[in-house]
Amino acid sequence: MSGPNLRAIWAIYTFELHRFRRTLLTGLLVPVITTSLYFVVFGGAIGSRMTEIDGIPYAAFIVPGLIMMSMFTESIFNASFGIYMPKFTGTIYELLSAPVSAAETVTAYVGAAATKAFIVGIIIFATAHLFVDISVAHPVAMIAFMVLIAISFCLFGFILGIWAQSFEQLQVIPMLIIMPMTFLGGAFYSIHMLADPWRTITLFNPIVYLISGFRWTFFGKGDVGIEYSIAFIAAMLALCLAVVGWMFRSGYRLKK
């Protein structure tokens, strides 16, 4: 055999998508219902009493943040679960004994998880249209942003799945770190609304730059310059790739 093992990538990719298909109902219905609830509560009940933020109606303002929040959660959950389960059930033996490189493994698992996260993002985007009028200023950038976010967070989830040695460890990072960072990262407000020590402190939260960048693709403006957002995504991708590369080279928690 020469060249990359494309059949293996395809086998893992379709296996993972098949796994998602088994939980299709909950997998797709949950984001739709969650989004609708956010719109009813934030967009309808609270938003009606709020002024516009940066000239954008509040209900529309929260759409990018909602999509990002769900994509973060979906990406991390799917990717971490995808690699944690074989470790947990022992079926990882087959992957480790197969003629598959680290790059192929990551491509397949992260590709499948990112595909699902992207689909969820699109579904939320479509659901949002039922509640508010949104026009997207930079549609191509929006799609590119979603793809990059999905890949970055799936890589992060993949790392988490390899690192985790229990279901609790698998949950702790998304629930205790990513979730608060997303809420405090301007998913539902502009960081300009904060008073100053908090505003400056918030700038240390990388999620701010991601949500701001995605909001830019919708409205042409964000909390921070788009160039900072692009730099942050690039940095996150590079960091995750470096960590994954190190994990495979050292055999970290995969091979004794």
Partner 1 sequence: MASIITISGLTKSYASGFQALKGVDLSIEEGEIFALLGPNGAGKTTLISIVCGNVRPSGGGVTVAGHDIIRSYRGARSAIGLVPQELSTDQFERVIDTVAFSRGLFGKPRNDAYIEKVLRDLSLWDKRNSKILELSGGMKRRVMIAKALSHEPRVLFLDEPTAGVDVELRRDMWKLIGELRETGVTIILTTHYIEEAEEMADRVGVINKGELMLVEDKDVLMRKLGQKTLTIALTEPLSAVPDHLAEWDVSLKAEGNEMEYLFDTRAERTGVSSLLRKLGDLGIGYKDLNTRQSSLEDIFVSLVHREQMA
Distance CA 86, CA 161 (A): 10
At its nearest, how many Å lie between partner 1 and the CB of residue 18?
A: 8
At its nearest, how many Å lie between partner 1 and the CB of residue 167?
A: 17
Residue 199 near residue 189, CB atoms below 8 Å: no
Residues 183, 186, 188, 190: is their CA dihedral positive or negative? positive
Q: State the number of CA atoms in the 13 A half-sphere of 72 facing the CB.
A: 24
At its nearest, how many Å lie between partner 1 and the CB of residue 150?
A: 24
Is 220 or 245 the residue whose CB approaches partner 1 more closely?
Answer: 245
Is 47 or 111 the residue whose CB approaches partner 1 more closely?
Answer: 111
Is 30 or 98 the residue whose CB approaches partner 1 more closely?
Answer: 98
Is 64 or 111 the residue whose CB approaches partner 1 more closely?
Answer: 111
Closest CA to 253 of 43, 83, 113: 83
SS3 assignment, position 2: coil
At its nearest, how many Å lie between partner 1 and the CB of residue 248?
A: 12
Interface contacts to partner 1, rule CB under 8 A: 1, 5-8, 10-12, 15, 18-19, 22, 89-91, 93-101, 251, 255-256
